[in-house]
Structure 1
């Protein structure tokens, strides 16, 4: 597809293409910001703020420590932590020292952790002590030779840090017993390396920056190989898309971005950490986004300009009684991604904040942003937006041919942010890349006359009822508008008569909501074959740590 019809929808000031050569690497991007914004706050966490100059110095020190371990250029270093101050320090250190970052979900089981450490070939890991017991169970079977242990209070100063660590360990009992005798404490590693200096490494655009593992929902978890140029491109693409909103922030006022999504997830990694660095902004680190009172209590202390989140987080916060304690008038960008934003949630968020959710779309394999709605759009459309600058999208059929105009097809993506492939899996890479360089997303979509794309659903989530296609996103979107419904999810289950049937799982907002009312509502708003055969009420929906609903766990 060479005719980029969507360019006419770009707001004024958004370029058709970004300058991919602006930075040779993420390291160059970071170091420019460290110098330019030295005196400004870079991160805020539990009342402690670190300046750009401090992050610069600390990451150089920790990078020197890692180099001192004898690791070779390009060796993989894993990071397994929630949103704590050591995370961005470790990331900057790993990249500046010439190593490859492996982001790891801290809630992994020993089996999942072992697979990722073995698959990536990680030689070292930086891990929060809360998850050390998990590492202990599998570390002997992995290539890991060096373990750096962090604690929640490490960077909060002696008095507050000691108190936080005491509460986490002894009151909340969040640190299970573990035995890792060779592990080195983060603060000790920093002290040990303080006399050394980071050896400057020349990083090139095609060097590997990170291995970003996919969720593994369709098989074994695979590492998307993200080059420095992939991530640099996506930061610049996000910057270009957000600028029409960000220019409304008064000149001289530092941009504050909320990081409630986990930094190990590519959405937060790129749109929160790296983009905020590029903008010289302050990132407000939220360690536990599920603690809504604590999240809202923290946000009440700051001006909030940028808030990337997933649908469940927008929904949960907007429905919380403390929501009004935050002054939302400075909010300029509410970036929705990770999973479909439901129209009822988008409407409520806009009513309560005055800032429309700007929904985008992407995957780990695309660094992640592939499309985004223009930030000047206020009406929710259900679309994932248009391709970001320097990006091409097309729809293809099962044979790889372009879909007929107006017909659904699998979304295929081409651009500088698309991964180099799956780590050491050429066979898997070949399955998802077309001969002309497009990445096949596995998502079914349609495109309108202006170039806006809309997700119909994942291929594997489509429900076939008596030969009719039922898309769970559509059913969920309809039911989420029903008064009395807090959250819902729709899955297909085997059925003797129709092949598959629709199962609907609901979390009540109104405790008096009944199955009969749900069925009557569905009958009013959806055609017969889309109606649920089974309606089930639960107190909560199973979700990933990022907030995606785990549909596969609802099929039983």
Structure 2
């Protein structure tokens, strides 16, 4: 590939390339932010703000604590918490101590947690007490030797913190009984760290910063090895991409980001936490975005400018009766990622906020952002946009040859944000990373003449009906636009006549909606082999904690 047709779509002022060499590590990026924005609030959580200077002091104390445990440069530290202010403190501490962050989903079962702790070789874990019982069930089979226990109220002050912890533990009963001998409380660890010396290690761009485990949707969960330079590059790419919209924030007003996606997910980790550190933005931490009412209550107290989310969260919020209590007028950038944004959701969001959803695309393996629609767009394009600065994308066939524009092929990505490989899995790495640096995503896409990409589906989700390829996203988009439909999902199920058949699962917002109406809607909009053979109504769709629909569970239910 010698040309980049997508550069013509870049808004004025967005560069074709970024230079990540200005920072030697994420630590340099963070410490510059701590110096330049010290007095500003960095995080807002349950009505309490934590400044950049406080984050600096707390993270250095916690880094010293980790060092005095005997953890050596390159050791892995697992973090298993929701969006609480301890999360960014611990991330900064782990990196400042020369250690490696292992982000862990707090809702893991003991089996899933054990796999990740064993696979990563984590020697320490910082975990919120709500999930300590899960750790108790598997810790003996893991290399973990040091446990730090956080609580929801740790950073809320003595009185409010005690009240919040009482409600969480005794009223809502969200902390099951557990026994973890030797575990140290988060605030006690800070106190110990303040009394210990901090030794600043040398950290290089090619050092590992994060092991980001993929969701396991394609088999065993693997750790994507993200280097300091990978994440620095993606932060700078995202900053350059958002600049045309963020430049319209009034002078002197601190930009503010909503962090409703979990920080253990790479989308929020990079685009909410790390990008906000780089730009000096305040982050509103939402501990549980599935509680839509509490999320909207919190947002009603703030002016905010950026909102990264997945389609299901945009949809849930836009349909909630409290949506109008929030002032959306300052919103400059709504970024959709993690899954395909349905056109009906995008239309509703634009109608209700005046800010179009800019759908982007990326993976854990790309730190994560690879492409996005221009933030100056006035409408939803239905594409994943164009490659970010310094990023190359192409649709390739199985032999690694680029297919012509308009033809489907596997989306492949090359750029400074692409991972170094999978942790201790050279064979898996070789399957996806070619000698020229192209990462094979497993997603089937089409590039048009202007360089805009469209995902037609994942290879494994494609349904073959009598030899015809059917892409679930297309059917979901059609049915999602039907009045009376709240959400839907499509999977392939075995069929003795056609090999596979299309199954549609619908969550209705209109209880009077019938199967016959759904079939008539599809008949008018889809060719014969794409129409659902099976239509099922459910109260809700199974989803990951991030909000991705779990198609594999829907397939398993039919097996």
TM-score class, shorter-chain normalisation, is over 0.9
Within-5 A mapping of 1:275-424: 275-424=275-424
- Establish whether residue 186 from structure 1 lines up as the match of residue 186 from structure 2: yes
CA apart distance, 1:87: 0.4
CA apart distance, 1:379: 1.9
CA apart distance, 1:243: 0.2
- Establish whether residue 472 from structure 1 lines up as the match of residue 475 from structure 2: no
Paired residue secondary structure (1:70): coil
Structure 1 CA distance for aligned equivalents of residues 322 and 167 of structure 2:
25
- Establish whether residue 534 from structure 1 lines up as the match of residue 546 from structure 2: no
Structure 2 CA distance for aligned equivalents of residues 193 and 485 of structure 1:
54
Paired residue secondary structure (2:278): helix
Structure 1 CA distance for aligned equivalents of residues 220 and 348 of structure 2:
38
Structure 2 CA distance for aligned equivalents of residues 246 and 160 of structure 1:
34
Structure 2 CA distance for aligned equivalents of residues 529 and 22 of structure 1:
53
Residue of structure 1 equivalent to 2:112 = 112
Report which stretch shifted further, 479-488 or 371-380: 371-380
CA RMSD, aligned part only? 0.7
Structure 2 CA distance for aligned equivalents of residues 112 and 405 of structure 1:
41
- Establish whether residue 77 from structure 1 lines up as the match of residue 66 from structure 2: no
Within-5 A mapping of 1:262-273: 262-273=262-273
Structure 2 CA distance for aligned equivalents of residues 239 and 554 of structure 1:
37
CA contact (8 A) 2:461 2:471 kept: yes
Paired residue secondary structure (1:217): coil
Residue of structure 1 equivalent to 2:481 = 481
Residue of structure 1 equivalent to 2:152 = 152
Paired residue secondary structure (2:196): coil
Paired residue secondary structure (2:166): helix
Residue of structure 2 equivalent to 1:449 = 449
Residue of structure 1 equivalent to 2:225 = 225
TM-score by length of structure 1 reads 0.99
CA contact (8 A) 2:405 2:446 kept: no
Residue of structure 1 equivalent to 2:21 = 21
Structure 1 CA distance for aligned equivalents of residues 2 and 279 of structure 2:
32
- Establish whether residue 261 from structure 1 lines up as the match of residue 296 from structure 2: no
CA contact (8 A) 2:405 2:448 kept: no
Paired residue secondary structure (2:188): helix
Which stretches in structure 1 are left out of the alignment for 5+ residues?
A: none
Structure 2 CA distance for aligned equivalents of residues 114 and 204 of structure 1:
30
Structure 1 CA distance for aligned equivalents of residues 204 and 282 of structure 2:
27
Residue of structure 2 equivalent to 1:62 = 62
Structure 2 CA distance for aligned equivalents of residues 192 and 256 of structure 1:
33
- Establish whether residue 241 from structure 1 lines up as the match of residue 225 from structure 2: no
CA apart distance, 1:171: 0.9
CA contact (8 A) 1:270 1:368 kept: yes
Residue of structure 2 equivalent to 1:438 = 438
Structure 1 CA distance for aligned equivalents of residues 363 and 323 of structure 2:
30
Q: Deviations over 1:354-377 (max 9, x none)?
A: 100011000000000000110011
Within-5 A mapping of 1:484-503: 484-503=484-503
Structure-2 change in CA distance of 1:332 and 1:405 (3 Å): closer
Q: Deviations over 1:187-229 (max 9, x none)?
A: 1111122222321122110000000000112211100000000
Structure 2 CA distance for aligned equivalents of residues 405 and 167 of structure 1:
57
CA apart distance, 1:404: 3.2
Residue of structure 1 equivalent to 2:213 = 213
CA apart distance, 1:529: 0.8
Q: Deviations over 1:292-347 (max 9, x none)?
A: 11101100100010000000000000011110111111000001100000000000
What is the number of equivalent residue pairs in this alignment? 556
CA apart distance, 1:406: 2.4
CA apart distance, 1:5: 1.0
CA apart distance, 1:547: 0.2
Structure 2 CA distance for aligned equivalents of residues 479 and 338 of structure 1:
20
Structure 2 CA distance for aligned equivalents of residues 216 and 297 of structure 1:
33
Structure 1 CA distance for aligned equivalents of residues 263 and 406 of structure 2:
38
Paired residue secondary structure (1:241): helix
Structure 2 CA distance for aligned equivalents of residues 92 and 395 of structure 1:
37
TM-score by length of structure 2 reads 0.99
Q: Deviations over 1:227-253 (max 9, x none)?
A: 000000000000000000000000110
Residue of structure 2 equivalent to 1:551 = 551
Paired residue secondary structure (1:21): helix
Q: Deviations over 1:464-521 (max 9, x none)?
A: 1111111000000000010000000000000001110000001011000000000000
CA apart distance, 1:172: 0.7
Q: Deviations over 1:383-434 (max 9, x none)?
A: 1000000000111111222223421100000000000000011110000012
CA contact (8 A) 1:267 1:368 kept: yes
Structure 2 CA distance for aligned equivalents of residues 522 and 127 of structure 1:
47
Structure 1 CA distance for aligned equivalents of residues 276 and 405 of structure 2:
39
Residue of structure 2 equivalent to 1:30 = 30
CA contact (8 A) 1:400 1:434 kept: no
